[in-house]
């Protein structure tokens, strides 16, 4: 009962802030509403007893991604902030595309057999996550690390404008 109430409150906050983010005409407000939406997802993780994932969500999305989005907004801002997030004129194609996406997603959600675990939730998730990450999924883990490194080096090269040796 409590779980259901909590879930619906969190779901309304998450989806509501996501909707307001799209409809807001001030891009700075949109970024902040996106932050609320990220925090809502972290709350969903907490409800699912995935406390490590929730903290990682807060650290990465709320703490880092949103700040970088706001940095981007600050560097490209011109004029009045209240009219920065204008609506596109292609409303009809966008509506059709969104509808198709919603239908596909809904079909997938409804068709999937959701398994219900009979195990009690883990007391400490971090050690199990770490063990899986460094044994079974070590290749994926390392590839992600290399990918992030490449992205970082790429960003530095773009900023520094490395000159060709003549």
Partner 1 sequence: MDIFIVWVEIFRHWLTVATGIPILAEIIVKAALTLGVIIFVLLNLIVLVWLERKLSAFFQMRRGPNRLGPAGFFQFPVDIVKMLGKEDIVPANADRPVFLIASICAFLTAIMAWAVIPLGRGLILEDLSIGIFYFIAIGSTGTIAFIMAGFSSNNKYALLGGMRAAAQMISYEIPMVFSLLGVIMITGSLTLSKIVEGQKSIWFIIPQILAFLCYFISSIAETNRGPFDMTEGEQELVGGYFLEYSGIRYALFMVAEYTHLVAVSAIAALVFLGGWNAPFGLTFIPGFIWMMLKIYFMIFLFMWVRWTFPRIRIDHLMHFGWKVLIPVSLINIVLTGIGIFVFRAITG
What are the residues binding partner 1 (CB under 8 A)? 2, 26, 28-29, 32, 35, 51-52, 55-56, 58-59, 62-64, 66-67, 70-71, 74, 81, 123-126
Q: Which is nearer to partner 1, 37 or 66 (CB)?
A: 66
Q: Which two tokens stand for residue 61?
A: 């999305």
Q: How far is the CB of 127 from partner 1 (least distance, A)?
A: 8
Minimum gap (Å) between residue 126 Cβ and partner 1: 6
Q: How far is the CB of 108 from partner 1 (least distance, A)?
A: 31
- The residue (of 18 and 129) whose beta carbon lies closer to partner 1 is 129
Tokens of 118: 């009979």
Q: Other CB atoms closer than 10 Å to residue 13's CB: what's the count?
A: 15
Q: Name the token pair of 151.
A: 């992205």
Report CA Rg, the chain.
Answer: 21
> Between 13 and 55, whose beta carbon lies closer to partner 1?
55
CB of residue 49 to partner 1, shortest distance in Å: 11
Least distance from partner 1 to the Cβ atom of residue 163, Å: 22
Q: Based on CB atoms, which residue is closest to partner 1, 108 or 149?
A: 149
- Give the nearer residue to partner 1 in terms of CB position, either 18 or 73: 73
Task: Kindly give, in sequence order, each residue whose CB lies less than 8 Å from that of residue 13, ignoring residues fewer than 6 positions away.
Answer: 36, 40, 43
CA pair distance 111, 14, nearest whole angstrom: 24
| Contact yes or no for 31/69 (Cβ under 8 A) | yes
Sign for the CA dihedral angle at 118, 124, 125, 127 comes to negative
What is the Cβ-side half-sphere exposure of residue 25, based on CA atoms within 13 angstroms? 5
């Amino acid at each position: 009962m409590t779980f259901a109430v909590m879930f619906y409150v969190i779901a309304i906050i998450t989806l509501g802030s996501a909707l307001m983010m799209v409809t807001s005409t001030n891009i700075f407000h949109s970024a902040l509403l996106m932050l609320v939406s990220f925090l809502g997802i972290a709350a969903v993780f907490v409800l699912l007893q995935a406390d490590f994932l929730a903290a990682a969500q807060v650290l990465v999305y709320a703490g880092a991604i949103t700040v970088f989005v706001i940095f981007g907004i600050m560097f490209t801002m011109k004029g009045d902030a209240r009219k920065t997030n204008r609506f596109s004129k292609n409303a009809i194609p966008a509506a059709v595309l969104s509808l198709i996406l919603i239908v596909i997603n809904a079909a997938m959600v409804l068709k999937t057999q959701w398994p219900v675990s009979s195990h009690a939730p883990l007391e400490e998730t971090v050690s199990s996550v770490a063990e899986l990450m460094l044994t079974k999924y070590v290749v994926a883990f390392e590839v992600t690390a290399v990918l992030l490194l490449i992205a970082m080096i790429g960003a530095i090269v773009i900023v520094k404008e490395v000159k060709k040796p003549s």
